[in-house]
């Protein structure tokens, strides 16, 4: 039997990218993508998750290439390529299930949304 000495973590995190082609991202655009109406018991939670997405770091193509360690857009993962081809406002960030309850939910969501104006993609983490 092996015994681990030291810190053991059961936490996980997830990264996400969100892009909008028609100008700046807004909470209203994200809430529309979530399809959660004001009468829903999940409305407040969806609003807090939208705030997390809006607070993510804005990135331009050069920053994304450097961050991913590649030389051109064709070397980026498909979801990043789609975001840059669609978007003027592109944000990336991460959430941890050890932080706020809203980040926990964001880590657990299977969040993949795309329409003519917005893309929201969440990758699994560790």
- Domain regions of the chain by residue span: 13-123
Reported as a pLDDT band with limits 50, 70 and 90, residue 8 is very low
Which whole-number Å values give the CA distances from 19 to 11, 12, 16, 66, 68, in the listed order? 27, 24, 10, 18, 17
pTM above 0.85, yes or no: no
pLDDT tens for 71-124 read 988 998 887 888 888 777 888 888 888 878 888 888 888 888 888 888 888 876
pLDDT tens for 32-82 read 888 888 999 999 999 999 999 999 988 888 888 888 889 988 998 887 888
d(CA 96, CA 113): 20
């Amino acid at each position: 039997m092996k015994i681990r000495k030291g810190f053991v973590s059961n936490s996980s995190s997830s990264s996400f990218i969100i892009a909008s082609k028609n100008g700046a991202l807004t909470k209203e655009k994200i809430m529309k993508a979530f399809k959660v109406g004001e009468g829903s018991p999940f409305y407040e939670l969806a609003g807090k998750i939208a705030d997390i997405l809006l607070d993510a770091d804005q990135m331009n193509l050069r920053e994304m290439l450097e961050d991913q360690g590649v030389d051109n857009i064709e070397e980026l993962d498909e979801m990043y390529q789609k975001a840059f081809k669609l978007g003027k406002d592109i944000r990336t960030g991460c959430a941890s299930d050890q932080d706020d309850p809203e980040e926990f939910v964001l880590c657990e969501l299977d969040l993949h949304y795309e329409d003519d104006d917005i893309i929201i993609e969440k990758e699994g983490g560790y």
